[in-house]
Every structure is written in structure tokens, then in C-alpha cells.
């Protein structure tokens, strides 16, 4: 009987093998939970890091700072915290904190480790990311984003509840990681190019974990591909039809691209003969609801091949088992910042050589693999060697605000691992000053600066919420900010473009995209209130998904926006801001948008393009905007996207005269 076997064998892996040899058991009859546990235990033992468990515990105990270097997949992220827990690092009730640059990694890894420990997620093992906290008083191993730990430092500058902080993926050099390292260095007074880190930390000790890697054959295209999405699709199908079994990992640049490839794969499969359709697409990107993120780790059903469509998250932060083929179109979405113009934008750029190597390496984790780079070999030689740290290419307003709130006033003198340029620090200080967060002496203003630092949002959005409470439209602004914090809400498949446009018209508001987003949010609320009284959460979700589909709305994004809304609503209530609605007074709301987003105002030019007032850049309204055709004289916008054009998105029409009236600190100085 399975239950007896389980009871008798729980403590001994060896006797399980003996038993199986003597009585060949039908696998289907073995308690699946048990065999999974067994598999996990075996897997853990086989990881390269397992052999250095004791040494790592000793090294961490004996060194204030330790650098650990190891091949992706060697077990650093999942095992090290468990080793430290077992070595007694939590005995006095303290927690082991592990930071991750990416939300998805924090969530999926915490789930995995909770399973490995055999505990419920949120108990001993938990995670905390912006807008989602799954921890409790008993959490001792806590995964979180680097940005979140920075926020915690605001309340507890010495991070006293932690016995150990593991800054994971430090080589990624996100701006939050860099600032965190600076703070930790401060706290202690005291990867990847371990030498760089080691020098920064005054010659810290480094441990190298021996990894393993199988050979990977690299293939290039003969010519540059004009449409890499199409080339990706063809390559996926080619592998599926011609290569031996093994899963495929595809690196794409973001949610929209992933979702469109997912759809296209499904469509193309329908055109293949029945027997060739056994290909399963599994997306993974940061805005994906966390329960869906785990799907990429589940093995494909027997006879199926899995194709994982991922952002660069799958480069190093999460290791997915079973990959034999990698498709690398060679691009990544990256932040870029122009300190002269003060404009940050998201652009799609070629990867660095280091990224390309890391990506191809994913195919050789469990056996020899193949990597298909969708560009000619000559292009590879032209790539940059490594990726520039984010701190060198982003707007610093947010981190400066946080450093100021932590009492670090001399930003130019702060000990960054790599100093951002003076121009970019000065520009961001100026922006914070214009938003009212800093005084003339460059100190955090009271109460606005302090309030802004408390909100987990971009300073421009924080300012918008504070202003909205004065303009009596905080309800509308909360919705707007939540909707702007997620990836695109509308979704318009190419083949149903007209239908999608008609659906969007039901929500569209002549003032612009911000109120249109408010309409969508409210319509979904009304729909739910009417239809889901007394229904279970799952039913509720299902009904909402259907509504979204009918209205060409991205249900993942909308759900995420609802979560964001509920958290920031909690934040502003705690701060005592006045939660009122402007009702039918749209003008009031538009004036508040002008007062908030004045740094992103633009004027129409004779030929129908726009000139951004702060930067002087010539930009165009994105075709997805409700104002694409109306082309009003003066607008404010939230986002600049650079493809072959400079497009602005999320736009509202304003009166030019409001700028001088509502943002005199900027517009009167200039005139």
C-alpha cells in the first residue's frame, strides 16, 4: 500500500531504491506527493553547491562580507538560504533576506524553496515584492526585490531584523542593487567580475562554486532578419518539427511581444497536421500573475514539447529545467536616459556579448544543446562586451528621493560602486525640486518630500496623488496611477483591429487616455458588482476574464492594476490624504493632470507632430491613443517609446495657459 510504503521509507532514500528493485512498483500507484518529495531531495543533493554547504556556513559566519560566484543553476539562490537557516542563522528570531532584481524571480524562487522545505508559502519561507507581501511573523527566509529592501531601509536603516542579507544577481547591476550595495557598505563600514565587487568591499573574500556546462552548438542566420518576431516563429516551428525532443527557450523583449508570439504559435499549430501539434507555449514575464509563472517549471505532458517565451529574466534569475534549445533574436528592452533632455525611455536594443553567451548557456544545463541566434555572426562581433549598469542609464529621481529620506544628503559624494554622471544627478535633483520634493537647500521638503518618499511609485506619480487630494480628484488619480503602472491595458490583435477599435470607443473619453483608463476601470468594477454577488473568487476571475476578452482588454494587466490600486489606496489613506471624486467635473481632473505632468507637456507643430516643451524633442502621438486623430493643441503625456519613431503614449488634452498658472515654478522661470 502506498501509504505504508511512504511511512516506512520517509527517512531513507536508499531503502526506496532497494524496495523498487525487489517489487517493481507501477509509478502511477506511488503517492505522487511522495515521489515528488523524493525527486526534489535527490535533485538538491546533486546540485554543485551541495558539496560546499558546511564551508559556506563557516565562511558566512567568519566574514562580514562574502562574495559567492557560481554558474547559473548551481543552486545559489535556492540552496544558500536553506544552508544558512540550517546552520543556525535564524536562531535568535532573525531573518535571512535575499534580494532579487526581478519580481518574478522573487516569487517563483520563494515558491520553490517553500516546497523544498515542505512548508506553506508565507510561513517559514515567504516573499515580498511591491504590491504583494506573502510573509508572516514566522518568516525566516524572505525573498524580495532589491527595491523593496531599499524601502524597508527607510523604516529600519540598519536592517536590524536580518541576520544575513544576500544580494543575489548582483552582476545584473540594477540601480536598486547598486544603491543597496552602497547602503550596506555604509551599514557595515567596511560578481560578475568578482574582482570589481571585492575591491569595492575592500578586498572581501570570494568563494567560487564549481559549475557544470555541456557544449552548446551556436547557429547564426546568413542575413540580418527584417522581422525578428517572424523569424522567431519560423525557428520555433522548425525546431519543433525537425529536432529531437527537448524544450525550447525563446528570449523576447516584453509582455506584448510574448503574448503576440504565443498567439501566433497557437495559430500556426492549427495549420499543421494533427500529429504535429504537440507544442505547448508557456510565457513568463514580470507582470504575469504569480500562479501562472510557475507553469514554466512544470514538465510538458508526455509527448509534448514546451516552448518557453521569456524576457531576459530567464538569462540568469530563473533556471528552467529541460531546456535543450535556445532561440535568441538578440534584443532586450532597456531603460535609457538622456540627462540633457531629462527624458527616460524604454528602447529595444541589441544584447551585449555577455548576455548572448549567458542566453546560449541556458541550452547546455542538462546535456548538449543548440542555440539559434537570429542574426549573422558578423553582428555578434559588433556587440558591446557587457551591459552598462542601469545606474548609468536611468532617471535617478527615485533613488535620490530615497537616499534623501535615509538621511544621505550628499548625493554627489555617496559611495556608489559606479558613480552616475554628475549631469544626471543634477538633472534629477532639479526635477525633484520642480516637483516640490526638495527645498532650496536641497533638503527633503516637509510634508511633500517625505510623503513622496513613502509612496512606492515614481516621484511624478507620487506627486500626482498628493496634488489630486488638493484638486478633489484623488479617486480618479488613484485609478489612473494604478492603470499607468501596468503594461498596456488594451489589446488589439492584428486580425481583429477594427473590432478592437470599436470596443475601445465605448470607453474612450474625448479628454484623453487618462480618463479613458478610468472609464475602463470603473466599467470593470460596475460589471463585477452586478454580476458576481456571492460568487467564489475563481468564478469571479473567470467572469472578469470573459468580460475583458469581449472588450479587448488585457485581463492580466487589469487584474494587476486592481492589485496596485488596492495597495496604493492603503498607502494614501495611511498618509491621511483626502479621498474624493471630482464627479462630472472632468476639467478639474485635467487641470490636476497638467499640474502633475507639466514636465511632460507638448505643443502641436504645424505639420501635426508635437514638440515636448521640456526637452525640445519632436514626438508623435502613438496610434493607440484616443487622441491620435483629434490632435489637440496642447497635451501632457506619460511615456515616451522609441521605435523608428518617437512615440508618446497616455495623453490628455490640456489648456496651454494652465501650465503657467499651475506650474509657475517651471513655466514662469522660462518665459
| Binding site residues, ligand CDP, CB under 6 A | 47, 70, 72-79, 108-109, 112, 297, 319, 321
Identity of the residue, 56 or 453, whose beta carbon is nearer to Mg ion in the bound complex = 56
476/583 Cα distance (integer angstroms): 9
Least distance from ligand CDP to the Cβ atom of residue 373, Å? 22
**Residue 18 main-chain phi, psi, to 5 deg:** -60, -45
* Binding-site partner at residue 404 among ligand CDP, Mg ion, none, CB < 5 to 8 Å by type: none
Alpha-carbon torsion angle 538, 542, 544, 548, nearest 10: 150
Identity of the residue, 95 or 319, whose beta carbon is nearer to ligand CDP in the bound complex = 319
Least distance from ligand CDP to the Cβ atom of residue 226, Å? 35
* Binding-site partner at residue 311 among Mg ion, ligand CDP, none, CB < 5 to 8 Å by type: none
* Binding-site partner at residue 70 among Mg ion, ligand CDP, none, CB < 5 to 8 Å by type: ligand CDP
Query: What is the biggest distance separating any 2 CA atoms in the chain, rounded to whole angstroms?
Result: 90
Q: Measured between alpha carbons, how far is residue 122 from residues 133, 137, 149, 277, 585 in Å?
A: 9, 9, 17, 39, 44
- Quick check: helix, strand or coil at residue 523? helix
342/361 Cα distance (integer angstroms): 37
Identity of the residue, 166 or 356, whose beta carbon is nearer to ligand CDP in the bound complex = 166
Identity of the residue, 209 or 374, whose beta carbon is nearer to ligand CDP in the bound complex = 209
* Binding-site partner at residue 395 among ligand CDP, Mg ion, none, CB < 5 to 8 Å by type: none
Q: Which residue sits closest to Mg ion, CB atoms considered?
A: 77
Kindly tell me the burial class for residue 541, based on how many C-beta atoms sit within 10 Å of its own C-beta (0-12, 13-18, 19 or more).
middle
Least distance from ligand CDP to the Cβ atom of residue 47, Å? 6
* Binding-site partner at residue 321 among ligand CDP, Mg ion, none, CB < 5 to 8 Å by type: ligand CDP
Alpha-carbon torsion angle 626, 631, 632, 638, nearest 10: 60
Least distance from ligand CDP to the Cβ atom of residue 72, Å? 4
Least distance from ligand CDP to the Cβ atom of residue 210, Å? 12
Q: How, if at all, do strands 646-653 and 634-642 pair? A: antiparallel
The partner residues of 338 in beta bridges, in order of sequence, read: 343
Least distance from ligand CDP to the Cβ atom of residue 53, Å? 13
* Binding-site partner at residue 74 among Mg ion, ligand CDP, none, CB < 5 to 8 Å by type: ligand CDP
* Binding-site partner at residue 454 among ligand CDP, Mg ion, none, CB < 5 to 8 Å by type: none
- Quick check: helix, strand or coil at residue 443? coil
Give residue 260's Cα distance to chain centre.
Answer: 19
The helix (run of H) or strand (run of E) holding residue 665 is helix 664-670
Identity of the residue, 75 or 389, whose beta carbon is nearer to ligand CDP in the bound complex = 75
Least distance from Mg ion to the Cβ atom of residue 76, Å? 5
DSSP structure string for 18-57: HHHHHS---GGGS-HHHHHHHHHHHHHHHSGGGGGHHHHH
* Binding-site partner at residue 319 among Mg ion, ligand CDP, none, CB < 5 to 8 Å by type: ligand CDP
Annotate 387-404 with b (16+ C-beta within 10 A) or e (fewer).
bebbbebbbbbbbbbbbb
**Grid cell in block for residue 531:** 454580476
* Binding-site partner at residue 108 among ligand CDP, Mg ion, none, CB < 5 to 8 Å by type: ligand CDP
Least distance from ligand CDP to the Cβ atom of residue 57, Å? 17
| Cβ-contact 650, 641 below 8 angstroms | no
**Grid cell in block for residue 482:** 494604478
Identity of the residue, 76 or 393, whose beta carbon is nearer to Mg ion in the bound complex = 76
Identity of the residue, 81 or 459, whose beta carbon is nearer to ligand CDP in the bound complex = 81
* Binding-site partner at residue 73 among Mg ion, ligand CDP, none, CB < 5 to 8 Å by type: ligand CDP
* Binding-site partner at residue 342 among Mg ion, ligand CDP, none, CB < 5 to 8 Å by type: none
Nearest alpha carbon to residue 225 among 352, 333, 379 = 379
Angle value at C-alpha 465, between 529 and 551, nearest 5 degrees: 35
Helix locations, 313-447, DSSP H: 313-316, 353-361, 377-382, 397-405, 422-434
Count of C-beta atoms within a 10 Å radius of residue 291: 9
By the criterion CB under 5 A, which residues form the site for Mg ion?
76-77
Identity of the residue, 45 or 61, whose beta carbon is nearer to ligand CDP in the bound complex = 45
* Binding-site partner at residue 112 among Mg ion, ligand CDP, none, CB < 5 to 8 Å by type: ligand CDP
Identity of the residue, 314 or 561, whose beta carbon is nearer to ligand CDP in the bound complex = 314
Identity of the residue, 71 or 475, whose beta carbon is nearer to ligand CDP in the bound complex = 71
Identity of the residue, 76 or 324, whose beta carbon is nearer to Mg ion in the bound complex = 76
Kindly tell me the burial class for residue 432, based on how many C-beta atoms sit within 10 Å of its own C-beta (0-12, 13-18, 19 or more).
buried
Least distance from Mg ion to the Cβ atom of residue 74, Å? 8
Q: Which residues contact 402 (CB under 8 A, 6 or more apart)?
A: 150, 151, 154, 179, 453
Identity of the residue, 119 or 528, whose beta carbon is nearer to ligand CDP in the bound complex = 119
Least distance from Mg ion to the Cβ atom of residue 461, Å? 31
Least distance from ligand CDP to the Cβ atom of residue 129, Å? 16
**Grid cell in block for residue 314:** 530567464
Kindly tell me the burial class for residue 575, based on how many C-beta atoms sit within 10 Å of its own C-beta (0-12, 13-18, 19 or more).
middle
Least distance from Mg ion to the Cβ atom of residue 109, Å? 7
Amino acid at each position: 500500500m502506498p501509504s505504508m510504503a511512504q511511512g516506512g521509507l520517509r527517512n531513507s532514500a536508499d531503502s526506496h531504491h532497494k524496495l523498487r528493485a525487489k517489487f517493481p512498483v507501477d509509478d502511477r500507484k506511488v503517492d505522487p506527493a511522495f515521489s515528488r518529495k523524493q525527486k526534489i531531495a535527490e535533485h538538491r543533493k546533486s546540485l554543485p553547491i551541495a558539496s560546499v554547504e558546511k564551508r559556506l556556513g563557516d565562511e558566512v559566519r567568519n566574514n562580514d562580507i562574502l562574495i559567492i560566484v557560481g554558474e547559473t543553476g548551481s543552486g545559489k539562490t535556492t540552496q544558500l538560504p536553506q544552508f544558512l537557516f540550517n546552520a543556525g542563522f535564524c536562531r535568535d528570531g532573525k531573518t535571512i533576506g535575499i534580494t532579487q532584481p526581478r519580481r518574478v524571480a522573487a516569487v517563483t524562487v520563494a515558491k520553490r524553496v517553500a516546497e523544498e522545505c515542505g512548508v506553506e508559502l508565507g510561513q517559514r519561507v515567504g516573499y515580498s515584492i511591491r504590491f504583494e507581501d506573502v510573509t508572516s511573523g514566522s518568516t525566516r527566509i524572505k525573498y524580495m526585490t532589491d527595491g523593496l529592501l531599499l524601502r524597508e531601509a527607510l523604516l529600519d536603516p540598519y536592517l536590524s531584523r536580518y541576520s544575513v542579507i544576500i544580494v543575489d544577481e548582483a552582476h545584473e547591476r540594477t540601480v536598486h542593487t547598486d544603491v543597496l550595495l552602497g547602503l550596506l557598505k555604509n551599514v557595515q563600514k567596511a560578481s560578475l567580475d568578482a574582482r570589481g565587487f571585492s575591491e569595492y568591499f575592500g578586498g572581501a573574500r570570494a568563494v567560487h562554486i564549481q559549475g557544470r556546462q555541456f557544449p552548446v552548438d551556436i547557429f547564426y542566420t546568413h542575413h540580418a532578419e527584417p522581422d525578428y518576431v517572424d523569424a522567431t516563429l519560423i525557428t520555433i516551428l522548425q525546431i519543433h518539427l525537425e529536432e529531437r525532443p527537448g524544450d525550447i527557450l525563446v528570449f523576447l523583449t516584453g509582455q506584448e511581444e510574448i503574448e503576440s508570439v504565443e498567439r501566433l504559435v497557437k495559430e500556426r499549430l492549427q495549420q499543421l497536421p494533427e500529429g504535429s501539434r504537440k507544442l505547448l507555449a508557456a510565457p513568463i514575464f514580470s507582470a504575469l500573475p504569480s500562479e501562472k509563472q510557475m507553469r514554466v517549471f512544470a514538465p510538458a505532458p508526455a509527448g509534448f514539447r514546451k516552448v518557453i517565451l521569456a524576457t531576459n529574466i530567464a538569462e540568469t534569475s530563473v533556471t528552467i529545467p529541460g531546456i535543450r534549445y535556445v532561440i535568441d533574436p538578440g534584443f532586450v528592452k532597456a531603460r535609457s536616459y538622456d540627462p540633457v533632455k531629462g527624458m527616460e525611455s524604454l528602447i529595444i536594443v541589441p544584447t551585449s556579448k555577455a548576455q548572448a553567451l549567458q542566453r546560449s548557456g541556458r541550452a547546455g544545463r542538462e546535456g548538449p544543446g543548440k542555440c539559434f541566434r537570429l542574426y549573422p555572426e558578423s553582428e555578434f562581433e559588433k556587440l558591446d562586451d557587457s551591459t552598462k549598469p542601469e545606474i548609468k542609464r536611468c532617471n535617478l529621481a527615485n533613488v535620490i528621493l530615497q537616499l534623501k529620506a535615509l538621511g544621505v544628503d550628499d548625493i554627489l559624494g555617496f559611495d556608489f560602486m559606479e558613480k552616475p554622471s554628475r549631469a544626471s544627478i543634477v538633472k534629477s535633483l532639479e526635477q525633484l525640486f520642480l516637483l516640490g520634493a526638495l527645498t532650496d537647500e536641497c533638503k527633503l521638503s516637509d510634508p511633500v518630500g517625505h510623503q513622496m518618499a513613502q509612496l512606492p511609485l515614481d516621484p511624478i506619480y507620487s506627486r500626482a496623488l498628493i496634488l489630486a487630494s488638493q484638486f478633489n480628484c484623488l479617486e480618479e488619480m488613484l485609478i489612473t496611477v494604478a492603470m499607468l503602472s501596468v503594461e498596456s491595458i488594451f489589446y488589439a490583435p492584428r486580425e481583429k483591429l477594427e473590432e478592437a477599435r470599436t470596443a475601445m470607443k465605448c470607453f474612450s473619453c474625448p479628454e484623453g487616455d487618462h480618463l479613458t483608463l478610468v472609464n475602463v476601470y470603473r466599467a470593470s468594477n460596475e460589471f463585477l458588482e452586478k454580476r458576481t454577488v456571492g460568487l467564489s473568487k475563481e468564478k469571479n476571475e473567470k467572469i472578469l476574464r470573459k468580460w475583458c476578452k469581449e472588450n479587448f482588454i488585457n485581463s492580466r494587466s487589469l487584474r494587476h492594476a486592481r492589485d496596485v490600486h488596492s495597495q496604493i489606496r492603503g498607502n494614501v489613506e495611511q498618509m491621511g490624504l483626502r479621498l474624493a471624486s471630482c464627479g462630472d467635473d472632468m476639467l478639474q481632473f485635467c487641470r490636476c493632470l497638467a499640474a502633475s505632468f507639466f514636465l511632460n507637456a507638448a505643443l502641436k507643430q504645424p505639420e501635426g507632430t508635437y514638440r515636448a516643451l521640456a526637452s525640445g524633442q519632436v514626438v508623435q502621438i502613438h496610434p493607440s491613443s484616443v487622441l491620435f486623430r483629434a490632435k489637440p493643441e496642447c497635451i501632457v503625456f506619460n511615456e515616451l517609446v522609441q521605435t523608428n519613431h518617437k512615440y508618446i503614449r497616455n495623453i490628455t488634452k490640456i489648456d496651454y495657459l494652465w501650465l503657467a498658472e499651475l506650474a509657475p515654478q517651471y513655466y514662469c522661470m522660462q518665459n
